[in-house]
Chains A and B, each alone.
Chain A
Amino acid sequence: MEEANRTEALNVSNIITAVGYPRLIICSFLLFLLISAALLGLPLGQLVSSILVRLGMNGILVLAMIPSIQSGIGPNFGLSLGVVCGLVAATLSIELDMVGLSAFAFSIIVAAILGSIVGYFYGLLLNRVKGQEMTVGTYTGFSVVSFMCIFWILAPYKSPEMIWPYGGDGLRVTITLQDRFDKVLNNLFAFKLFNVEIPTGLLLFFALFCFMVWLFMRTKTGLAMLAAGSNPRFAEASGINVNSCRIIGIVISTALGAIGIVVYAQSYGFIQLYTAPLFMPFFAVASILIGGASIKKATITHAVIGTFLFQALLVVALPVANEVVANNLSEVVRIIISNGMILYALTRKEAGGDEVEAG
């Protein structure tokens, strides 16, 4: 029996199933792109550092999917709620005229607090619509982003860096962080290795959050959440309050989303308001699904691998496509990949699904 298992494990088809077709296809496509990039004489060092930066800046947003998936809610399509909280926090730091790491730290803390509060109420909402979290989440996200468009106009911000230069009322669409906390993490302990710029601070910060989520999933509460997510009836029979587990999951997810957007903004160098957060959740959802997560099960590895593959593809595809077709295809590629991935994950059968049981 054991021997049979061992020979089976060596089977090629088993390896393919273990890695998964989508990852295999994306990896080979990525490899193909990298080779073409080298052949076209594109600066590989620059491409690699760009991949690393984008891994760090998107990573936490993708990480935010883990608690929501583990608690049984599924991918958090309402991540925009967290994102707007993060944006409020970041604009607040500018309004208070803060600079550098302290401004960044302030934004992170306020973002986490706001995100937790909003997440709690969002969790209450999701507990009323069990089974339709994805649809409800998507539309909650859309509504909130639109609602925030009014907020950005009406909120009594005074900082001249942020408000429209002519009217004096309302925030601009894009706010630069140049004199605030632009790239504070990216440049922290940054060094160069073989022409590759390593954004040490950013990667460390991402790693820290990965570790914290990993740690949380191993606590009593984390395990309760896992049980509630994998089988709510089981969880109830074990004396676990399923509803509060779901709320904890979505609170953490929303808070991570809020922190994630601050990290994203510091790396990008700009805060983007109004409709910019509209499609943020979709890229995060697509990333973790590419990484091998399902809508029921996700791990840190899925998040890291997924973010890496998704971002690497975009970074490399853009210049290669520009060289070959001379048109900006990157955005199109991004949308095709992310929506295609979501569609794939929603339609595929759960691996190792239930066999038909005898009537």
Chain B
Amino acid sequence: MDTKFLLQMRNISKEYFGNRVLKEVNLDVKEGEIHALIGENGAGKSTLMNILFGMPVIHSTGGFEGEIFFKGKKVEIKTPKDAMDLEIGMVHQEFMLLPGFSVTENIKLNREKTKHNLISRLFGSKLKSLDFKSMRKDARIALDTLGLSIDEMLPIAGLPVGYMQFVEIARELDKKNIKLLVFDEPTAVLTEVEAETLINTMKMLADKGISILFITHRLEEVLKVSNNITVLRDGEVVSSLPAKDATVEKLAELMVGRKIERVSSKRKRIDELNKKAGNTILKIEGLKVEMPGERVRGVTLEIKKGEIFGLGGLAGQGKIGIANGIMGLYPGEGKIIVNNKEIQLNNTASALKNGLAFVSEDRRGTGLLLDQPIDLNIAITAIQCQNKFLRKSLINLADRRSITNHALKMIEELDIRCTGPHQLVRRLSGGNQQKVCIARALTLEPDILLVSEPTRGIDVGAKKLVLDLLVKLNREKGMTIVITSSELGELRSICDRIAIIYNGKVEGILTPDASDKEFGLLMAGEKSRRREVS
């Protein structure tokens, strides 16, 4: 029985700083099969692959539990080199290519063919020269296998993205005797036609006896190409099934599925909000934002006064870009209307002065002055934008006492665990740093609070506290909150409406009690794809 499987990962568990990201995951890949691994962002797919490849990030954070069997034998994979020696290849999500080198050189990098010359005969084989002729031949063979007609001597820089992806694959193919090839979201950057070619290539490779582990979000592709499917959710395997038993709907449901809290009370609230409809507080029209990796391509939304509005979707689809664009942190175009007043885009001060406040997803990079004390962190935006905490005299001197007193008030209100208002924020835990960010936004007394990824990188207990805090602000102070999050469960537990962003646009707006299937389909962009087809 065991011999049938090429790769078996048994009871794999992994913790990052007390944060459990994988829980006793089992994964079996048969010889010559295409096995799909699907799951939301943060479900643990990348971590699992990092373990398989012995990436340094795994071992520098305390290693993992569990065992890996390859061809029936137990193996220890400590470095990527070990993985390569086992004949495992990987096509990365982000290209690992040298732009200035030619296609051939990239394919042959560090496995160059060499021949002797005069100097190398005298001084040793380190000085052998490259045998370009035979390297070109090898590269050509690999490219032909993929049906790629480009010149193998072209430099990588300037090639279309899709071609780069194929060069990556060609490099893995050129490694002879490759047994297992991992594709990490290979179709994410490809056009439909290119994706089609890729899928055919994968089938062809599988026919040659190479096993393929295929990681993706695109559910239709999964059904088209794979033999078996493993679904990960929250670090656990929720299902492992043959592709012939699966449908897009079923997979979507498995991928997203969560129990939803407080559904009934939700219904009532939504009805109440609907009654007050027309009270639009924030209007976004045709917003486009040039945020690298999170491009927004024309979003139109209306957000009602007093609601908690969620922005969900998979990573890279543009949900993060929306709040950043509104706040003018990345160049954007379109129209933003707050309280019937249009605000200037690309001007952070204008957004802050018109009743918007923002808690950034990049907490340590954008959200905090890590080497400054808590009280200054909380007060500084209000000082700069609203002239608060200043003693008005000839010069605008900051009023240290009122800054400290305000910080003390916030520390008590938000329950920030610290040694005092003068502690440096660097020394705080993630959850408490997040509370400082929220305190800073609250100090602006905004009408609308934009919160991005409020629970990213903080532990489970603190997550709940932060979410409860947001709900409390909404209920008690009537603050309108727009929350962006990769965790759908989180959005569904606190939001009144949730917009799912796909490919930089709104794919659809759902209420939190909509079914898992509906959410799953929107997140995978199946709806707009179907629209295109019909």
Binding site for B on A (CB under 8 A): 2, 5, 215, 218-221, 223-224, 226-227, 230-231, 233-234, 236-240, 296-297, 352, 354, 356-359
Q: Which of the residues B19, B364, B390, B397 comes within 8 Å of A354, measured between beta carbons?
A: B364
Question: When A220-B384, A358-B19 are in contact, do A352 and B372 touch as well, CB less than 8 Å?
Answer: no
Question: When A234-B369, A236-B348 are in contact, do A358 and B385 touch as well, CB less than 8 Å?
Answer: no
B365 on the A face (CB < 8 A)? yes
B-chain residues with CB within 8 Å of residue A297 when the two chains form the complex:
371
Q: How far is the CB of B324 from chain A (nearest CB, A)?
A: 9
Cα of A297 to Cα of B16 in the assembled complex, Å = 32
A-chain residues with CB within 8 Å of residue B350 when the two chains form the complex:
239
B376→A358 contact, CB < 8 A:
no
B128 on the A face (CB < 8 A)? no
Cα of A138 to Cα of B252 in the assembled complex, Å = 60
Cα of A215 to Cα of B57 in the assembled complex, Å = 46
Q: Which of the residues B47, B358, B370, B372 comes within 8 Å of A237, measured between beta carbons?
A: B358
A-chain residues with CB within 8 Å of residue B372 when the two chains form the complex:
226-227, 230
B16→A218 contact, CB < 8 A:
no
Question: When A233-B366, A238-B381 are in contact, do A5 and B419 touch as well, CB less than 8 Å?
Answer: yes
Which B residues from 346 to 365 make CB contacts under 8 A with A? Answer: 348-353, 358, 360, 362, 364-365
CB 8 Å contact bits of B380-392 with A (1 = contact, 0 = none): 1101110100100
B-chain residues with CB within 8 Å of residue A230 when the two chains form the complex:
369-372
CB 8 Å contact bits of B398-430 with A (1 = contact, 0 = none): 101000000000000000000100001011000
Question: When A218-B398, A356-B60 are in contact, do A233 and B362 touch as well, CB less than 8 Å?
Answer: yes
B17→A223 contact, CB < 8 A:
no
B348→A220 contact, CB < 8 A:
no
Q: Taking CB as reference atom, which chain B residue is nearest A5?
A: B419
Q: Which of the residues B327, B370, B390, B426 comes within 8 Å of A220, measured between beta carbons?
A: B390
B398→A237 contact, CB < 8 A:
no
Q: Taking CB as reference atom, which chain A residue is nearest B347?
A: A239
Q: A230-B371, A358-B19 provided; 9 other pairs, C-beta below 8 A?
A: A218-B400, A223-B380, A230-B370, A230-B372, A238-B380, A239-B352, A240-B384, A356-B61, A358-B16
B348→A238 contact, CB < 8 A:
yes
B-chain residues with CB within 8 Å of residue A226 when the two chains form the complex:
369, 372
B349→A239 contact, CB < 8 A:
yes
**Is the interface on chain B under 10, 10 to 19, 20 to 34, or 35 or more residues?**
35 or more
B274 on the A face (CB < 8 A)? no
A-chain residues with CB within 8 Å of residue B383 when the two chains form the complex:
220, 223
User: Could you name 24 residue pairs across A and B whose Cβ atoms are closer than 8 Å?
Assistant: A5-B419, A218-B398, A218-B400, A220-B390, A223-B380, A223-B398, A227-B369, A227-B380, A231-B369, A234-B368, A237-B360, A238-B384, A239-B353, A239-B385, A352-B371, A352-B424, A354-B370, A356-B60, A357-B364, A358-B17, A359-B16, A359-B46, A359-B47, A359-B50
A-chain residues with CB within 8 Å of residue B454 when the two chains form the complex:
none
B426→A352 contact, CB < 8 A:
yes
B457 on the A face (CB < 8 A)? yes
CB 8 Å contact bits of B50-70 with A (1 = contact, 0 = none): 100000010011000000000
Q: Taking CB as reference atom, which chain A residue is nearest B21?
A: A358
Cα of A117 to Cα of B387 in the assembled complex, Å = 28
Q: Rank and list the top 6 A-B pairs by shortest CB-CB distance, nearest first.
A: A239-B349, A358-B16, A238-B381, A220-B396, A239-B348, A233-B366
Q: Taking CB as reference atom, which chain A residue is nearest B353?
A: A239
Q: Taking CB as reference atom, which chain A residue is nearest B395?
A: A219
A237→B327 contact, CB < 8 A:
yes
Cα of A357 to Cα of B433 in the assembled complex, Å = 14
A224→B419 contact, CB < 8 A:
no
A-chain residues with CB within 8 Å of residue B17 when the two chains form the complex:
358
B349→A219 contact, CB < 8 A:
no
Q: How far is the CB of A226 from chain B (nearest CB, A)?
A: 7
B281 on the A face (CB < 8 A)? no
Q: How far is the CB of A141 from chain B (nearest CB, A)?
A: 28
A358→B457 contact, CB < 8 A:
yes
Cα of A234 to Cα of B376 in the assembled complex, Å = 13
Cα of A227 to Cα of B369 in the assembled complex, Å = 7
B329 on the A face (CB < 8 A)? yes
B384→A239 contact, CB < 8 A:
yes
Q: How far is the CB of B235 from chain A (nearest CB, A)?
A: 13
Cα of A11 to Cα of B381 in the assembled complex, Å = 37
Cα of A238 to Cα of B390 in the assembled complex, Å = 17
B-chain residues with CB within 8 Å of residue A221 when the two chains form the complex:
396
Q: How far is the CB of B328 from chain A (nearest CB, A)?
A: 8
B352→A238 contact, CB < 8 A:
yes
B367 on the A face (CB < 8 A)? yes
Cα of A221 to Cα of B384 in the assembled complex, Å = 8
B397→A223 contact, CB < 8 A:
no
Cα of A227 to Cα of B364 in the assembled complex, Å = 14
Cα of A231 to Cα of B366 in the assembled complex, Å = 7
Q: How far is the CB of B502 from chain A (nearest CB, A)?
A: 25
Cα of A358 to Cα of B14 in the assembled complex, Å = 12
A-chain residues with CB within 8 Å of residue B370 when the two chains form the complex:
230-231, 354
A-chain residues with CB within 8 Å of residue B61 when the two chains form the complex:
356, 358
B-chain residues with CB within 8 Å of residue A2 when the two chains form the complex:
419
Q: How far is the CB of A227 from chain B (nearest CB, A)?
A: 6
Cα of A82 to Cα of B259 in the assembled complex, Å = 67
A359→B57 contact, CB < 8 A:
yes
